[in-house]
Amino acid sequence: MKKVISSCLCLFFFISATMAQKGDWYTWSTGISPAVHVTISGDEIVLDRTDPATRQGGISGRKSNEMEAEHLKILKKVEKNNRTYLIFQSFDGLYFVTTLQKSPSGDSVLMYCADGAEDGYKGLNEALDGISKDKGSDFYITLFKKEVIDAERRKGSVSKITEQEFATSLQTFNDKMDKFWQDRGYGRFEPYHGFMNLIYGNAFAAAFGNKYSKLSLITKELKIPINNYCNNPDIKRRLESAGFLKSE
Protein backbone atom coordinates (compact mmCIF):
# COMPACT_ATOMS: atom_id res chain seq x y z
CA MET A 1 0.00 0.00 0.00
CA LYS A 2 2.88 2.36 0.87
CA LYS A 3 4.44 1.66 -2.54
CA VAL A 4 1.15 2.53 -4.27
CA ILE A 5 0.87 5.82 -2.33
CA SER A 6 4.51 6.64 -3.06
CA SER A 7 4.02 5.94 -6.76
CA CYS A 8 0.91 8.12 -6.84
CA LEU A 9 2.74 10.98 -5.14
CA CYS A 10 5.61 10.75 -7.65
CA LEU A 11 3.13 10.73 -10.54
CA PHE A 12 1.28 13.70 -9.05
CA PHE A 13 4.54 15.63 -8.66
CA PHE A 14 5.54 14.89 -12.27
CA ILE A 15 2.17 15.90 -13.68
CA SER A 16 2.00 19.02 -11.49
CA ALA A 17 5.51 20.13 -12.48
CA THR A 18 4.80 19.62 -16.16
CA MET A 19 1.37 21.25 -16.06
CA ALA A 20 2.76 24.28 -14.20
CA GLN A 21 5.08 25.01 -17.09
CA LYS A 22 2.46 24.75 -19.81
CA GLY A 23 1.23 27.84 -21.56
CA ASP A 24 2.53 30.97 -23.27
CA TRP A 25 5.89 32.36 -22.28
CA TYR A 26 8.27 34.99 -23.62
CA THR A 27 12.02 35.37 -23.56
CA TRP A 28 14.79 37.46 -25.10
CA SER A 29 16.08 36.72 -28.56
CA THR A 30 18.52 38.00 -31.18
CA GLY A 31 16.14 38.15 -34.12
CA ILE A 32 14.30 41.09 -35.67
CA SER A 33 12.41 41.43 -32.39
CA PRO A 34 14.21 41.16 -29.03
CA ALA A 35 11.29 39.23 -27.51
CA VAL A 36 10.27 35.79 -28.72
CA HIS A 37 7.13 33.78 -27.96
CA VAL A 38 7.56 30.26 -26.54
CA THR A 39 4.57 27.94 -26.14
CA ILE A 40 4.82 24.81 -23.98
CA SER A 41 2.30 22.00 -24.13
CA GLY A 42 2.35 18.37 -23.08
CA ASP A 43 3.46 17.32 -26.56
CA GLU A 44 5.74 20.04 -27.87
CA ILE A 45 7.65 23.28 -27.42
CA VAL A 46 6.90 25.92 -30.07
CA LEU A 47 9.41 28.69 -30.79
CA ASP A 48 8.69 31.77 -32.82
CA ARG A 49 11.04 31.72 -35.80
CA THR A 50 13.91 34.17 -35.34
CA ASP A 51 17.46 34.49 -36.64
CA PRO A 52 19.85 31.90 -35.23
CA ALA A 53 22.85 33.22 -33.33
CA THR A 54 26.44 32.11 -33.75
CA ARG A 55 29.52 32.07 -31.58
CA GLN A 56 30.77 35.09 -33.49
CA GLY A 57 27.81 37.15 -32.28
CA GLY A 58 24.15 36.86 -33.12
CA ILE A 59 22.74 40.30 -32.50
CA SER A 60 22.02 40.73 -36.18
CA GLY A 61 18.55 42.23 -36.29
CA ARG A 62 18.09 40.71 -39.75
CA LYS A 63 14.68 39.44 -40.71
CA SER A 64 14.57 35.70 -41.16
CA ASN A 65 13.55 34.31 -44.54
CA GLU A 66 11.47 31.70 -42.81
CA MET A 67 9.21 33.14 -40.13
CA GLU A 68 7.07 30.08 -39.41
CA ALA A 69 7.07 28.88 -35.82
CA GLU A 70 9.30 25.92 -35.04
CA HIS A 71 7.51 22.95 -33.45
CA LEU A 72 9.72 20.74 -31.28
CA LYS A 73 7.89 17.50 -30.57
CA ILE A 74 8.64 16.08 -27.14
CA LEU A 75 9.57 12.42 -27.70
CA LYS A 76 10.10 11.44 -24.09
CA LYS A 77 9.92 12.91 -20.60
CA VAL A 78 12.28 11.68 -17.89
CA GLU A 79 12.03 12.48 -14.18
CA LYS A 80 15.50 12.22 -12.66
CA ASN A 81 17.82 14.16 -10.34
CA ASN A 82 14.76 16.08 -9.12
CA ARG A 83 14.39 17.51 -12.59
CA THR A 84 12.13 16.94 -15.60
CA TYR A 85 14.10 16.22 -18.77
CA LEU A 86 12.50 16.59 -22.20
CA ILE A 87 13.96 14.77 -25.19
CA PHE A 88 13.29 15.87 -28.74
CA GLN A 89 14.85 15.44 -32.17
CA SER A 90 16.30 18.07 -34.49
CA PHE A 91 15.71 18.30 -38.23
CA ASP A 92 19.01 16.50 -38.90
CA GLY A 93 18.11 13.49 -36.76
CA LEU A 94 20.09 14.27 -33.60
CA TYR A 95 18.47 13.89 -30.19
CA PHE A 96 18.59 16.78 -27.73
CA VAL A 97 17.68 17.18 -24.09
CA THR A 98 16.41 20.19 -22.18
CA THR A 99 14.69 20.67 -18.85
CA LEU A 100 12.25 23.14 -17.33
CA GLN A 101 11.99 24.38 -13.76
CA LYS A 102 9.33 26.73 -12.43
CA SER A 103 10.73 29.68 -10.49
CA PRO A 104 9.83 29.96 -6.78
CA SER A 105 7.71 33.05 -7.52
CA GLY A 106 5.80 31.20 -10.22
CA ASP A 107 6.00 34.05 -12.73
CA SER A 108 8.83 32.58 -14.79
CA VAL A 109 10.35 29.29 -15.93
CA LEU A 110 14.03 28.44 -15.95
CA MET A 111 14.87 26.61 -19.16
CA TYR A 112 18.14 24.69 -19.11
CA CYS A 113 18.51 24.51 -22.87
CA ALA A 114 22.30 24.16 -22.71
CA ASP A 115 22.66 22.04 -19.65
CA GLY A 116 25.10 19.20 -18.98
CA ALA A 117 22.83 16.77 -20.81
CA GLU A 118 22.05 19.23 -23.58
CA ASP A 119 24.16 17.77 -26.33
CA GLY A 120 23.63 16.20 -29.71
CA TYR A 121 23.05 12.44 -29.45
CA LYS A 122 22.81 10.00 -32.33
CA GLY A 123 20.23 7.81 -30.63
CA LEU A 124 17.56 7.88 -27.92
CA ASN A 125 19.53 5.51 -25.69
CA GLU A 126 22.54 7.84 -25.86
CA ALA A 127 20.34 10.74 -24.80
CA LEU A 128 19.00 8.73 -21.86
CA ASP A 129 22.56 7.82 -20.90
CA GLY A 130 23.47 11.51 -21.05
CA ILE A 131 20.67 12.29 -18.62
CA SER A 132 21.90 9.66 -16.17
CA LYS A 133 25.33 11.30 -16.14
CA ASP A 134 24.08 14.87 -15.92
CA LYS A 135 25.34 16.76 -12.88
CA GLY A 136 23.44 19.95 -13.60
CA SER A 137 24.56 23.40 -14.66
CA ASP A 138 23.99 27.00 -13.67
CA PHE A 139 23.34 28.18 -17.21
CA TYR A 140 19.73 28.72 -18.21
CA ILE A 141 17.47 31.14 -20.02
CA THR A 142 14.38 32.58 -18.39
CA LEU A 143 10.88 32.38 -19.80
CA PHE A 144 8.59 35.18 -18.63
CA LYS A 145 4.90 35.92 -18.57
CA LYS A 146 3.76 38.55 -21.08
CA GLU A 147 3.27 41.11 -18.30
CA VAL A 148 7.02 41.13 -17.64
CA ILE A 149 7.75 41.89 -21.30
CA ASP A 150 5.06 44.58 -21.50
CA ALA A 151 6.52 46.33 -18.44
CA GLU A 152 9.70 46.99 -20.42
CA ARG A 153 7.79 49.47 -22.59
CA ARG A 154 7.77 51.93 -19.69
CA LYS A 155 11.57 52.18 -19.63
CA GLY A 156 13.83 54.43 -21.69
CA SER A 157 15.51 53.46 -24.96
CA VAL A 158 19.03 52.07 -25.08
CA SER A 159 19.73 54.77 -27.67
CA LYS A 160 20.25 57.11 -24.70
CA ILE A 161 22.83 54.92 -22.95
CA THR A 162 26.01 56.63 -21.79
CA GLU A 163 29.43 55.73 -23.14
CA GLN A 164 30.53 54.10 -19.87
CA GLU A 165 27.28 52.15 -19.52
CA PHE A 166 27.58 50.93 -23.11
CA ALA A 167 31.17 49.81 -22.60
CA THR A 168 30.26 47.98 -19.39
CA SER A 169 27.24 46.26 -20.95
CA LEU A 170 29.24 45.03 -23.95
CA GLN A 171 31.97 43.65 -21.70
CA THR A 172 29.42 41.91 -19.47
CA PHE A 173 27.86 40.26 -22.53
CA ASN A 174 31.23 39.14 -23.94
CA ASP A 175 32.34 37.76 -20.58
CA LYS A 176 29.07 35.84 -20.18
CA MET A 177 29.30 34.18 -23.59
CA ASP A 178 33.02 33.45 -23.21
CA LYS A 179 32.25 31.67 -19.95
CA PHE A 180 29.37 29.81 -21.58
CA TRP A 181 31.60 28.36 -24.30
CA GLN A 182 34.48 27.67 -21.92
CA ASP A 183 32.18 25.78 -19.55
CA ARG A 184 30.51 23.94 -22.39
CA GLY A 185 33.76 23.01 -24.08
CA TYR A 186 34.68 23.71 -27.66
CA GLY A 187 34.38 20.79 -30.05
CA ARG A 188 31.15 19.41 -28.57
CA PHE A 189 27.86 19.68 -30.38
CA GLU A 190 26.37 23.12 -29.99
CA PRO A 191 23.07 23.33 -28.11
CA TYR A 192 20.08 22.83 -30.37
CA HIS A 193 20.26 25.59 -33.00
CA GLY A 194 16.74 26.81 -32.26
CA PHE A 195 17.88 27.71 -28.73
CA MET A 196 21.10 29.50 -29.64
CA ASN A 197 19.47 32.84 -30.41
CA LEU A 198 17.69 32.59 -27.04
CA ILE A 199 20.96 31.89 -25.23
CA TYR A 200 22.63 34.89 -26.84
CA GLY A 201 19.52 37.03 -26.45
CA ASN A 202 19.18 36.31 -22.73
CA ALA A 203 22.85 37.07 -22.10
CA PHE A 204 22.60 40.30 -24.11
CA ALA A 205 19.43 41.50 -22.40
CA ALA A 206 20.84 40.72 -18.95
CA ALA A 207 24.05 42.62 -19.75
CA PHE A 208 22.11 45.90 -20.09
CA GLY A 209 20.50 45.61 -16.67
CA ASN A 210 17.13 47.14 -15.78
CA LYS A 211 17.66 50.83 -16.56
CA TYR A 212 16.89 50.64 -20.27
CA SER A 213 14.09 48.82 -22.06
CA LYS A 214 15.13 45.42 -23.34
CA LEU A 215 12.59 45.92 -26.11
CA SER A 216 14.83 48.68 -27.45
CA LEU A 217 17.72 46.26 -28.06
CA ILE A 218 17.16 46.30 -31.81
CA THR A 219 19.42 47.37 -34.66
CA LYS A 220 17.75 50.77 -35.18
CA GLU A 221 18.22 51.81 -31.55
CA LEU A 222 21.64 50.20 -31.05
CA LYS A 223 23.07 51.97 -34.10
CA ILE A 224 22.98 55.25 -32.17
CA PRO A 225 25.40 54.31 -29.36
CA ILE A 226 27.46 52.24 -31.80
CA ASN A 227 27.95 55.24 -34.10
CA ASN A 228 28.47 57.62 -31.18
CA TYR A 229 31.04 55.58 -29.31
CA CYS A 230 32.77 53.28 -31.80
CA ASN A 231 35.73 55.67 -32.06
CA ASN A 232 36.61 54.66 -28.52
CA PRO A 233 39.20 51.85 -29.02
CA ASP A 234 37.93 49.84 -26.03
CA ILE A 235 34.32 50.02 -27.18
CA LYS A 236 35.32 49.21 -30.74
CA ARG A 237 37.13 46.08 -29.53
CA ARG A 238 34.14 45.02 -27.46
CA LEU A 239 31.78 45.61 -30.39
CA GLU A 240 34.00 43.37 -32.54
CA SER A 241 33.95 40.65 -29.88
CA ALA A 242 30.15 40.90 -29.63
CA GLY A 243 29.79 40.56 -33.41
CA PHE A 244 28.62 44.11 -34.20
CA LEU A 245 31.72 45.11 -36.10
CA LYS A 246 34.09 43.10 -38.26
CA SER A 247 37.65 42.84 -36.98
CA GLU A 248 40.12 44.74 -39.11
- Per the structure, the count of domains in the chain is 1
SS3 25: strand
The pLDDT assigned to 6 comes to 43
The residue range of the domain holding 218 is 1-248
From residue 81, how far is each of 74, 108, 196 by CA, in Å? 19, 21, 25
- Provide block-wise average pLDDT over 10 residues at a time, the chain (248 residues): 44 46 89 86 84 44 57 89 83 84 80 73 88 77 92 96 98 93 66 81 95 94 95 96 81
The pLDDT assigned to 122 comes to 86
Give the N- to C-terminal CA distance of the chain in Å, as an integer. 72
From residue 43, how far is each of 22, 100, 245 by CA, in Å? 10, 14, 41
In sequence order, what are the beta bridge partners of 105?
Answer: none
Query: How far apart, in whole angstroms, are the C-alpha atoms of residue 76 and residue 186?
Result: 28
The pLDDT assigned to 5 comes to 42
The pLDDT assigned to 50 comes to 61
Query: How many other C-beta atoms are found inside a 10 Å radius of the C-beta of residue 48?
Result: 19
State pTM to two decimals.
Answer: 0.82
